[in-house]
Structure 1
Amino acid sequence: MDFSLTDEQNMLIRTTRAFVEQELFPYEAEVERTGELRPDLVEEIKAKAIAAGLYAANMPEEAGGAGLDTVSWVLYEKELSRANYALHWTCVARPSNILMACTPEQRERYLYPTVRGERSDCLAMTEPEAGSDVRSMKCSAVKDGDDWVINGTKHFISHADVADFVILFAASGVEETPRGPKKLITAFLIDKGTPGFEVLPGYENVSHRGYKNSILRFENCRVPSSQVLGEVHKGFEVANDWLGPTRLQVAAGCLGRAERALDLALQWAATRKQFGQQIGKFQGVSFKLADMATRYKAAEMLTLNAAWKADQGAMTDEDAAMAKLFASEMLAFVTDEALQIHGGMGLMSELPLERLWRDARIERIWEGTSEIQRHIISRALLRPLGA
């Protein structure tokens, strides 16, 4: 197998890494301290990201994006993720690929302005009683003439506080199946400010300071049928068509932060002295570094292999689940060991390690918990055997 990167991919890595270090790293301490991302700072960095060709680079060329192949996109995500999450996600936005399902009219109103940085989106699936079990969602959409009337609540909705519109998934009907009734789901595009749609502050989170979650409340919110994204009752099909690589995005982000934590641990082990020598010479530290590097490399291989298969049209749910599962658990291990190598200094806010350690915890939960990933993997293994 050829593991070498193209000249274009190496240039993408260098460009993105330089941007992160020059434009994002300097503001990490401010965001961590205040828990806020200044609007003027967002606009300043966004303009620089657009000029550098890094904004909305995940989107296809036909939509105005960079049209990166999956491997290149994963490499790009890895580099961006070395920085504070709020900074890289809000200032160097990657719109949801599900917007590619827009009609021509919807593309003019939602897709293209979002890719240009004039508007921003958020995705709303999770509810207080519907997390991993999306089919149990209670937020409903009922047809009334040419309109749909939406009622219900969503929560844990990332960056809804700054988004201009929401991509909402709601239960729109029921179909009978051999296993009993099953809810039908429809996706909608709903502008912030639509009567009956309210965005409320979410919960305080130990991970990713500055990157907020919100509660969305819909009370007799009326939207025209022209706001349906994709086909009526086909919301899951739309999501499956366009959201497949999302778990690779999480895996790539874990790689970026793990690499930063490992680099910090290596520098500390090579320069910190105790008992007359560098602590990296002690087996208790050197073996930690070896285990960290090995797990990191294994996660990188799993992620890049899944990305390569995606480019060949051969990636399975099992591939993406393995990458997300292993990379997120690897990040937890690497950040914890890096902090341990630093001793007391690892927990001090003067270093980014305590943030990397805190931020790592959410990766085993969102975009499908580790338990869900293990379910996907085991089901794929057993299905051919009829189990």
Structure 2
Amino acid sequence: MDFALTDEQRSIVEVTRAFVERELYPHEEEVERTGVLPPELAAEIRRKALAAGLYAANMPEQVGGAGLDAVTLVLFEKELGKTSYALHYTGVARPSNILLAGTPDQRERYLLPCVRGERVDCLAMTEPEAGSDVRAIRTRATRDGDDWRISGTKHFISHADAADFVILLARTGTDDTGRATMSIFLVDLDTPGVALHDGYRNVSHRGYTNSIIDFDDVRVPSDALLGEEGQGFALAGTWLGSTRLQVAATCLGRAERALDLSVTHAARRKQFGQPIGRFQGVGFKLADMATELRAAELLTLHTAWRYDQGAATDADIAMAKLKATEMLAMVADEAIQIHGGMGLMDELPLERIWRDARIERIWDGTSEIQRHIIARSMLRPLGA
């Protein structure tokens, strides 16, 4: 197996790393202190990301994206993940790949403007009574002549306050076994009956907001349906696979930054007449952090390689997300321990990385859900 990066991959990593250090790092303190990403700053970053060719990097070249393969996309996301989520995800957007399932008209109205940085999408699946159990979704879309009427409530909807339209998962019927069937709709947020409310205060990813969206008998035309009626789960699956890999990749970046800071501190900080890294209690922490990071990185890259081959399973992706998110929690915690009291002060990014790490084991599928997927894949072939 050849683990070497291609010249193109090295170039993408270098360009992305330079962009993050030059354009995003300087704004971290402001976003963390205020909890707000100013719209004018987001627009400025978006403009620079477009000029640098970093915007919509997950999209195929045919629609104006960078057309990165999964392995290169993991390397790209890893570099972006070193900084504030609000800065890199809002300013250097990666539109949902669900939009690729759209009709030519939907591509013109929704997908292509997102790739060009003219519109912003958000995805609404989670509800107050439906988190991991997607089948419990209550938001319902019913036919009304040639139109659809949608009613229900979504919450924890990431960056909806910066979005122009929502990619909505709603119940549209039942199958032969009586289970709910789902469909996906594209709904402009200025449609009558759609109400956007402030979400909850979150200790993780300050500046990257969540919202509550109410749909009160919202009428949308038949062409708002994305893909086929009743096939919402299948479409959502295409999104979940790529986003779980994305979560894993950004966790690698933050863990690497925390480890780099820890190594530097352990080499320069002296106690009892020598660098603290020479003490076994600190040196062994560094060794364990580095080993766990390497293992998570190799697992994530291998999963991305399988994704490019069309061979990645749900269990492969679940393993990558599980390992990377839990590795980040360990590395962030140990980094703070190595830094002592200063690790918890906001003069360093470690307390942010530590706080931000907590949500990664919850969103895009909890660690328990990932373990369930992995265990199920092992037992099913044996009939269990």
TM-score by length of 1: 0.98
The within-5 A match list for 1:358-369 is: 358-369=355-366
Q: In the alignment, does 2:383 pair up with 1:386? A: yes
Report the counterpart of residue 112 of structure 1 in structure 2: 112
Task: Look up the equivalent residue of 1:301 and give its one-letter code.
Answer: L
Task: Look up the equivalent residue of 2:332 and give its one-letter code.
Answer: T
Report the counterpart of residue 300 of structure 1 in structure 2: 297
Distance 1:37 1:186 in 2: 32
Q: Indicate conservation of the 8 Å contact 1:98/1:243, yes or no.
A: no
The within-5 A match list for 1:46-57 is: 46-57=46-57
Q: Deviations over 1:357-378 (max 9, x none)?
A: 0000000000100000000000
Q: Indicate conservation of the 8 Å contact 1:97/1:243, yes or no.
A: no
What SS class does the counterpart of residue 185 from structure 1 fall into?
Answer: strand
Report the counterpart of residue 75 of structure 1 in structure 2: 75
Distance 1:241 1:41 in 2: 31
What SS class does the counterpart of residue 244 from structure 1 fall into?
Answer: helix
Q: In the alignment, does 2:94 pair up with 1:94? A: yes
1:43 CA displacement: 1.1
1:383 CA displacement: 1.2
Report the counterpart of residue 156 of structure 1 in structure 2: 156
Q: In the alignment, does 2:342 pair up with 1:345? A: yes
Q: In the alignment, does 2:55 pair up with 1:16? A: no
Report the counterpart of residue 250 of structure 1 in structure 2: 247
Distance 2:213 2:238 in 1: 25
Report the counterpart of residue 367 of structure 2 in structure 1: 370
Report the counterpart of residue 223 of structure 1 in structure 2: 220
Distance 1:30 1:317 in 2: 38
Q: In the alignment, does 2:172 pair up with 1:172? A: yes
Distance 1:268 1:86 in 2: 27
1:243 CA displacement: 3.8
Distance 2:309 2:32 in 1: 40
Task: Look up the equivalent residue of 1:101 and give its one-letter code.
Answer: A
Unaligned runs of 5+ in 1: none
Unaligned runs of 5+ in 2: none
Task: Look up the equivalent residue of 1:93 and give its one-letter code.
Answer: A
1:245 CA displacement: 1.7
- Tell me the percent identity: 70
Q: Indicate conservation of the 8 Å contact 2:199/2:212, yes or no.
A: yes
Q: In the alignment, does 2:283 pair up with 1:286? A: yes
TM-score by length of 2: 0.99
Report the counterpart of residue 130 of structure 2 in structure 1: 130
Q: In the alignment, does 2:231 pair up with 1:234? A: yes
What SS class does the counterpart of residue 172 from structure 2 fall into?
Answer: strand
What SS class does the counterpart of residue 173 from structure 1 fall into?
Answer: strand
Distance 2:180 2:128 in 1: 17
Query: Root-mean-square deviation (CA), in Å?
Result: 0.7
Task: Look up the equivalent residue of 2:188 and give its one-letter code.
Answer: D
1:200 CA displacement: 0.4
Distance 1:113 1:293 in 2: 41
Q: In the alignment, does 2:317 pair up with 1:320? A: yes
1:244 CA displacement: 2.1
1:242 CA displacement: 4.4
Distance 2:38 2:301 in 1: 35
* Among candidates 210, 213, 220, match of residue 210 of structure 2: 213
